[in-house]
Amino acid sequence: MVLFSHNAIENDFITFLYIEYNSTLIGHLGDDMEIIDTFIPVAIFLLFGLAIPLVIMFLVKQLSPRSKSPVKFTTYESGSVPTGSSKIMFNVEYYAYAILFVLFDVELLFLYPWVTVYVNDVVLNNVENFTTSFSVFAMALFMVVVLLGLLYEWKKGVLQWVK
């Protein structure tokens, strides 16, 4: 198995934009060039994504009928006349989850750079037993702390839909 083809793993997540690409397609260009090469197609797709609905809706405007009846523009509520506004202070019954979600999403963000770093740590430092690898140990410690938090909240009964 090809273990690792990148040669700039030492860099951390923030500097991912500068990782040298080993694709021969753009290999001999500078870093700036590479970013552009990667993201210009994305930008073109972004424009496409924005433009296609607009074009389609323009076509629809030409093809479809228009009506002026105010009844057509009322909100549908199963045939009843809607009472009250829908823009209310909605009671978010899952806020406990939402708070935890923020925590776990941050944890995920830590995991992403770790993915590319840890094996390098093991291989480059010639760690015999991977449990002694610093990156694995550090991440395990971090996860245990986060998990303990989750278990604590679970045990306390916070993890539930609050009626």
Partner 1 sequence: MTHEATQITSPPKSSEILLHLGPQHPLQPGPFLLDLKIEGETIREAELKIGYIHKGMEKVFEDRTYIQILPLTDRICYLASNSNNDVYCRGIEELLGIEPTERAKYLRVLTNELCRIQSHLLGIGEYTTDVGFLTMFIYMVREREGVVSLLEAITGSRLNHNYARFGGVAHDLPPGYKEMALKTLGELKKLVKSHDEMLSSDSIYLRRTKGVGVLTTKVASELGVAGPPLRASGVNYDLRRIEPYLVYDELDFNVITQTDGDVFSRVKVRLLEILESIYIIEQCLDQMPSGPYKQDVMPYITRPKPGEVYSRIEDPRGEMGMYIISDGSDKPYRFRIRGPAFATAQALPPLLIGTYVADVAAIAASMDSCTSEVDR
Partner 2 sequence: MGLFITIMDYLVIFFSTWEFAPWVRGILGGLVIGAVFGGALVMVYLERKFLGDIQSRIGPNRVGGRFGVLQLIADAIKLFTKEDIIPAKADKWLFIGAPIVALTSGFLMVAVIPFDLLMIKGSEYAVAVSRMDISILYLEAVSGLSIFAIFMAGWGSGSKYSLLAGFRNVAKMIGYEVPLGIAIISVAVMAHSLDIVEIVKAQSTWWFIIAQPLGFVVFFIALLADVGRIPFDQTEAEEELIAGWATEYSGMRWGLAFFAEYLHAVVGSFIITLIFLGGWNGLPLIGNLYIPGIFWLIAKTIMVIMLFIWVRGALPRYRIDQVIDIGWKVLIPLALLNLVWSTIIGLMWA
Interaction of residue 78 with partner 1, rule CB under 8 A: yes
Residue from 84, 102, 129, 156 touching partner 1 (CB under 8 A): that is 84
Report, in Å, the least distance between residue 66 CB and partner 1.
25
Nearer to partner 1, 155 or 163 (CB): 163
Interaction of residue 90 with partner 1, rule CB under 8 A: yes
Q: Which does 155 bind (CB under 5 to 8 A by kind): partner 2, partner 1, none?
A: none
Interaction of residue 77 with partner 1, rule CB under 8 A: yes
Dig out the tokens for 126 from the structure.
């010639």
CB atoms within 10 A of CB 39: 12
Residue from 29, 55, 92, 141 touching partner 1 (CB under 8 A): that is 92
Contact 96, 158 (CB under 8 A): yes
Find, among 104, 97, 75, 71, the residue nearest to 87 by Cα: 75
User: Could you tell me the maximum CA-CA distance found in the chain, to the nearest angstrom?
Assistant: 77
Interaction of residue 75 with partner 1, rule CB under 8 A: no
Q: Which long-range contacts link 63-68 to residues 24+ away (Cβ below 8 Å)? A: none
Q: Which does 1 bind (CB under 5 to 8 A by kind): partner 2, partner 1, none?
A: partner 2
Q: Which does 39 bind (CB under 5 to 8 A by kind): partner 2, partner 1, none?
A: partner 2
Contact 120, 4 (CB under 8 A): yes
